[in-house]
Chains A and B, each alone.
Chain A
Amino acid sequence: MGERLPPMQPDDDLEELMVGYQQGNSEAAAALIERVSPMLHRYFMVQVVSRRFAGDLLQETWLRIHEGRNTYRPGEPVLPWLYAIARHVRVDGYRKVQRVESRERQVETLPEAGPPPPDGRAPDLQAMLENLPESQREVIVMLKVSGMSLEEVARATSSSVGSVKQKAHRAYEKLRGLLEGFTRTGQGRAT
């Protein structure tokens, strides 16, 4: 089912693909799906509440993107528009699951955040972000994985630039503390 894909970088021609998609160009639509899906999938994977259903949420997001594609305005950045929809799919998905599982007591056990691997290997983003609150995790994914600007993240999350900055700052503080803790533990073990 799963396939390792190269990391996705935001590209300038996403707007072009989106306009092609609006005009009914199936090649542009297919290219857009291929390009954006890994980012969106990763967004669902780093959120604890959506991880179990990341594949379903990705599919649901594309259906909603398709339904609302006329509301994208050419010239506007594509990623905030896409992420705003994905974010609502995630929230709705959480409520939907709550309804379905209302009689079950769901206890989500958070795995411990892992230390960064030795030099040369990329650390696991999902494990690194485990200890952050969902809202901070969301901001970090949009900023660092999708390469969105503070303004774009603010638009996607319906919040202010100040609020996004504050969340990113708090996330960095927490990550710094965790990473320093790992470094100290590693050094202690070494001596």
Chain B
Amino acid sequence: MMDGDVDDILKRAASAPHEVDREAIKRASDLILPALKPVRPLPSTGVVALTLQVIFVVVAILGATALGNNGIRVLNKLQALLIFAALGVSARLASVAAASEMVPAHPKRIAPPVLLAGATGLFVLVFGVLFYDYRLDRFVREGLSCVGAGLVYAGMAGLLIWLVLRRGYILDPAAAGLAAGTLAGLTGLGMLELHCPILKSLHLMVWHTAVIPLSALGGYLAGRMVHDLGIKRKAAEFMQ
């Protein structure tokens, strides 16, 4: 028997009449049709991604302005160019990944876990290549202060990103949370690069970069929580 024979049998089977639950169709029609209102289609993924990038830029700049633009002043041109180019590329990819999660069946150019690993790895590499001061004095104290500030602004960016994402229809809240959390983490990192004047290699590689995975973890857990609460609510409705 050849594939063509299997194909023929499947086609015959698929073309056979199928018994449909008319009651379910009627219930669905009764729920949907009486309250039908026009809706405006979601803007294109490019436009949504651009909106998310604006949030990234605005929150990072406002945060650094509030705390002091001390970091950008101590970077040389090469360091500034490489760091902000890496931030721009990562934020662009994260914005597209988050925007893609808003539309069911939207092709995914980059999976959120790959995005997170790539962005984290990229900044460890960039900081490792650009900075050679390996002193560890005040490592934890300075580090915790930077992580805290980075996460505060990541949280603010995360809330704004969520306001945009909720306009879509997210099927996988955990993946959307991971992508949004990564973008928010990049915002926190961007703010730190503008604000923090410490150029010690390990401080940057560990504490500044840590804002990305910590924020992504927060986004992922928030997404999981939203999803689980939805299932619990539906299970409760089902049991009533």
Contacts and interface: CB of A to CB of B under 8 A. Distances in A.
Interface of A: 1-8, 21-26, 29-30, 33-34, 37-38, 41-42, 45, 54-56, 58-59, 62-64, 66-74, 80-81, 83-85, 88, 92, 95-97, 99-100, 116, 122-125, 128, 140, 144-145, 155-156, 158, 172, 175-176, 179-180, 183
B30 to A, nearest CB: 10
A128 B13 contact: yes
Interface in B194-211: none
A142 to B, nearest CB: 11
A172 B6 contact: yes
B235 A30 contact: no
A33 to B, nearest CB: 5
Interface in B1-43: 1, 3, 5-7, 9-25, 27-29, 31-33, 36-42
A37 B231 contact: no
A10 to B, nearest CB: 11
Interface string B124-139: 0000000000000000
Given A88-B171, A125-B10, 15 more contacts: A2-B21, A4-B18, A21-B36, A41-B21, A59-B27, A64-B169, A81-B104, A85-B104, A92-B231, A92-B234, A125-B16, A140-B10, A176-B1, A176-B6, A180-B1
Nearest to A83: B105
A7 B15 contact: yes
Interface of B: 1, 3, 5-7, 9-25, 27-29, 31-33, 36-42, 44, 102-108, 167-169, 171-172, 230-232, 234-235, 238-239
Contacts of B238: 96-97, 100
Given A5-B17, A96-B238, A179-B1, A24 B105 contact: no
Contacts of A66: 31-32
Contacts of B3: 172, 176
A22 B14 contact: no
A46 B41 CA distance: 32
B102 to A, nearest CB: 6
Given A3-B19, A71-B42, A156 B105 contact: yes
A29 B15 contact: no
A29 B21 contact: no
B105 A7 contact: no
B19 A4 contact: yes
A155 to B, nearest CB: 4
Contacts of B22: 1-3
A73 B44 contact: yes
B36 to A, nearest CB: 5
- 6 residue pairs, one from A and one from B, having the closest CB atoms: A68-B169, A24-B38, A122-B16, A62-B28, A55-B24, A55-B21
A22 B32 CA distance: 12
A143 B20 CA distance: 20
Contacts of A72: 41
B99 to A, nearest CB: 11
A100 B129 CA distance: 54
Contacts of B103: 71, 73, 81
Given A24-B37, A95-B231, A155-B106, A33 B10 contact: no
A8 B15 CA distance: 8
B38 A62 contact: no
